[in-house]
Structure 1
Amino acid sequence: MFEDQTFEEIMERMLSRISADIDTREGSVIYNALAPAAAELAKSYIWLDTVLELVFSDTAQGEFLDRRATEAGIERLAATKAVRAGEFTPGITIPTGSRFFADNLYFQYTADGTLECETAGEAGNANISGQNLLSLDTIPGLEKAIVKDILIPGREEERDDSLRDRYFTRVRREAVSANKQHYKQWAEEVDGVGKAKIFPLWNGEGTVKIVITNATLEPASDILVKKVKDAIDPKEGQGEGEAPIGAFVTVESAVWKEVEISAEVLPELNRSIEDVKADIEAGVLQLFKKMAFEDNVIRLSQINNIVYNASSVSDYSDIKINGLAENLVLNDVEIPKLGQVNIIEQTR
């Protein structure tokens, strides 16, 4: 809005007000006297532009977006802690709150028999399954303590884009009166949930099915499914949770659909077939993350674009998805999982 209010433009306006019989050339006394004020005014216009960007919700960032969202009753989702399974000496009673240590991470034993990472965010999602846990408390009879798989992945603090989307959903009244968007909002606000898909009237009048992924857009654990069920409809049809009276809610996890990619590829000079495979895998994984519950068709053209844009690829042909040179359609509850990537090297 104030892009034209530059130092030069301000100086020109200021100098034009000076009497013609006074020297206003650069370096003159009057020029040097006005220059600092013009520089400060130009800086003020820059700040005014910035302030306007921070005032409106479509461009606000950070704490300023938080303040706009708060006006609509929405708060930024805080980072959540990873919850993992543990394996311990059979028959041993472990007190709730007992602390364990593994790979620079501290865990607490919870009432439901799981291990909660003390560090919020994705740190607790580290690949440490199978590692021994060091008990920080004296637990009689404890001889084995092993950290196991992730039950609920940790999530970092909500990003601006996600908070902005939830803000617009609220102020535009897209999620109201227990409509589909409202159920989706309720499910995705539960700690550990990534995305949710809603199926109204799936089993007759008054029934709603919610299919969820975890925070890393993978199938959800039974514990996470129960958390969502308890938050939305703990006693079916009774209106004890978010769902209204008379709604019977079923919560299920998304399921994997394994997808294999194959192609004949000519690598660039000084690049190996392993480089090609790594580039293609990275591109396909990124595509699959974006697709989860957003698009149920893996298009051959998308895979072609990934291979074409790979820096290690000189030429390619015969791209297939699950052995066929055609699009792959996922069903409503499936999310794609990359399986084998079979790359055949072309001869020059």
Structure 2
Amino acid sequence: MPAPLPTPEELTRRAEARLEAALKRIRPDASPAAIARAVRSEKGLLAAIARAHATGLYGTHLHLSWNVRQLMPDTAEAEFLIRHAAIWGVFKRPATKAVGLARFTGTPGFPVPAGLDMRLPGGGLAVTSAGGVLDGTGNATIALEAAEGGVLGNTAGGATLPIVTVQGGLDPQAAVLDADGMAGGSEEETDESLLARVLVEIREPGHGGNKNDYRVWIQNAFAVAKVATVPLWVGPGSVGVVVAMGTAVAPAVPIPAELDAMAAHLDPLRPLTAEVHVRPVVLQSVPLQLAVFPDTVPVRAAVEGAAAAHFAAEAEIGQLFARSRLSEAISAANGEYRHYLVLPPGDVLPARDALPVLGGVTWDAPP
């Protein structure tokens, strides 16, 4: 049953009532009016004692209420949420560094050192995460990572990164990112995201390297939008881990450097006999064709927003996407009275590595 927090005024009235009862026991011959004046007079000593007692007791109630909130992860403050999460093997993800590949050119055989600093177009630095040697044509493709975690390191493909310290065997004194660029940089995980992962782990705990373990292991280290674990990927003993980056609203295909980093992260965590394959998601576009009534610009915008939110919340890698649920979400859009959904014509059943995403929207005239 609910236990509302008493106010200071309520606690003061209770203290006054207890004082009056005590005085009546001590002085049974005193009149109730005299006792009330002695206890409730604003300038009286007993009234001051009652108010002081009530104030202290109110602070105790506040402290107890705060302590109780820390007992449950969904009401706990950040410090205690992190402790709850750790008990379940879920850890707050720090800011992750963007990774990628870049081409260096210069004198054949020149060694490019690990830890070589380069300037990013958006500010900050990238460093070579491993050394390399220019081949006979004077070229080498070497892995890079941002010097610091965060989205600042995400850089478009083909960008030129000037080298900070001159290297005599390189010409030009810059590296060029490959077509995939640098990706995977993210800010520190929010408390809301951590709580959502903790609740999923409580409801669907992993153990012994089952499919939920791979999800937790990936999400502890990488800001993924969706992740799916597929057993028997290429036969007995193999596991496929299919990953979508970006956000749930705007999922993206991970670049090879991100997949390599995830595979390296999973290698010491996986069961000894498991053969793990980290694979990029395939984004399966699902076009939407429908008529709405009333057919107005605000209603169309509301319907499209509701459909996008539904795809973000409901679509999962390799899982059936129900047409009826999509229609229900459209019906809940602000201002929509009725609609006629033409596409998709039925439920969408993606391949095991595919994620349904909202495609183009075609509007028909209402019948």
Distance 1:214 1:106 in 2: 22
Asked if the contact 1:154–1:215 (Cα under 8 Å) also holds between the matched residues in 2, the reply is no
Distance 1:307 1:151 in 2: 37
Shift of 1:167: 5.3
Asked if the contact 1:265–1:316 (Cα under 8 Å) also holds between the matched residues in 2, the reply is yes
Shift of 1:335: 0.6
**Residue in 1 aligned with 2:257?**
223
**Residue in 2 aligned with 1:327?**
347
- Seen in structure 2, the aligned counterparts of structure 1 residues 186 and 66 have a Cα distance that, compared at 3 Å, is closer
Asked if the contact 1:257–1:336 (Cα under 8 Å) also holds between the matched residues in 2, the reply is yes
Matched, 1:61 2:77: yes
- Indicate the SS of the match to 2:50: helix
- Indicate the SS of the match to 1:81: coil
- Indicate the SS of the match to 2:207: coil
- Indicate the SS of the match to 1:108: strand
**Residue in 1 aligned with 2:359?**
339
Distance 1:329 1:172 in 2: 25
Matched, 1:49 2:68: no
Counterpart pick for 2:290 among 260, 263, 285: 263
Counterpart pick for 1:253 among 280, 302, 305: 280
Distance 2:272 2:365 in 1: 61
- Seen in structure 2, the aligned counterparts of structure 1 residues 106 and 321 have a Cα distance that, compared at 3 Å, is farther
Asked if the contact 2:125–2:147 (Cα under 8 Å) also holds between the matched residues in 1, the reply is yes
- Seen in structure 2, the aligned counterparts of structure 1 residues 188 and 158 have a Cα distance that, compared at 3 Å, is same
Shift of 1:333: 1.9
With structure 2 as the length reference, what TM-score do the two structures score? 0.72
Counterpart pick for 1:283 among 306, 324, 332: 306
Distance 1:136 1:245 in 2: 42
**Residue in 2 aligned with 1:318?**
340
Distance 1:132 1:205 in 2: 45
**Residue in 2 aligned with 1:298?**
321
Matched, 1:120 2:120: no
Counterpart amino acid of residue 120 in structure 2: F
Asked if the contact 1:84–1:152 (Cα under 8 Å) also holds between the matched residues in 2, the reply is yes
Counterpart pick for 1:107 among 121, 126, 146: 126
**Residue in 1 aligned with 2:171?**
141
**Residue in 1 aligned with 2:137?**
none
Residue by residue over 1:73-129, the C-alpha shift from the partner in whole angstroms, topping out at 9 and shown as x without a partner, is 653221212224557778897654222132345433443734433452344447x55
Residue by residue over 1:48-94, the C-alpha shift from the partner in whole angstroms, topping out at 9 and shown as x without a partner, is 10111113445323111223344566532212122245577788976
With structure 1 as the length reference, what TM-score do the two structures score? 0.75
Q: Which moved more, 1:9-18 or 1:116-125?
A: 116-125
Asked if the contact 1:155–1:215 (Cα under 8 Å) also holds between the matched residues in 2, the reply is no
- Indicate the SS of the match to 1:102: coil
Distance 2:218 2:318 in 1: 19
- Indicate the SS of the match to 1:78: coil
Matched, 1:31 2:47: yes
Distance 1:254 1:173 in 2: 23
Following TM superposition, the consecutive aligned residue runs of length 4 or more in structure 1 with deviations greater than 6 angstroms are 87-94, 168-173
- Tell me the C-alpha RMSD between the 2 structures: 3.9
Shift of 1:315: 4.7
Shift of 1:261: 1.0
- Indicate the SS of the match to 1:79: coil
Distance 2:274 2:92 in 1: 28
Counterpart amino acid of residue 336 in structure 1: P
- Seen in structure 2, the aligned counterparts of structure 1 residues 166 and 290 have a Cα distance that, compared at 3 Å, is closer
Q: Which moved more, 1:130-139 or 1:248-257?
A: 130-139
Aligned length: 332
- Indicate the SS of the match to 1:337: strand
Distance 1:156 1:292 in 2: 24
Residue by residue over 1:179-227, the C-alpha shift from the partner in whole angstroms, topping out at 9 and shown as x without a partner, is 3333443344443544432233344432333222235343333233333
Counterpart amino acid of residue 339 in structure 1: G
Shift of 1:15: 0.6
Shift of 1:341: 1.5
Shift of 1:43: 3.3
* Structure 1 unaligned blocks of 5 or more: 234-240
- Seen in structure 2, the aligned counterparts of structure 1 residues 45 and 259 have a Cα distance that, compared at 3 Å, is same
- Indicate the SS of the match to 1:212: strand
- Seen in structure 2, the aligned counterparts of structure 1 residues 48 and 210 have a Cα distance that, compared at 3 Å, is same
Shift of 1:14: 0.7
Asked if the contact 2:96–2:187 (Cα under 8 Å) also holds between the matched residues in 1, the reply is yes
Shift of 1:262: 1.9
**Residue in 2 aligned with 1:180?**
211
Distance 1:306 1:70 in 2: 35
Residue by residue over 1:118-158, the C-alpha shift from the partner in whole angstroms, topping out at 9 and shown as x without a partner, is 452344447x5566655544465328766654554223323
- Indicate the SS of the match to 2:286: strand
- Seen in structure 2, the aligned counterparts of structure 1 residues 306 and 69 have a Cα distance that, compared at 3 Å, is closer
Asked if the contact 1:300–1:327 (Cα under 8 Å) also holds between the matched residues in 2, the reply is yes
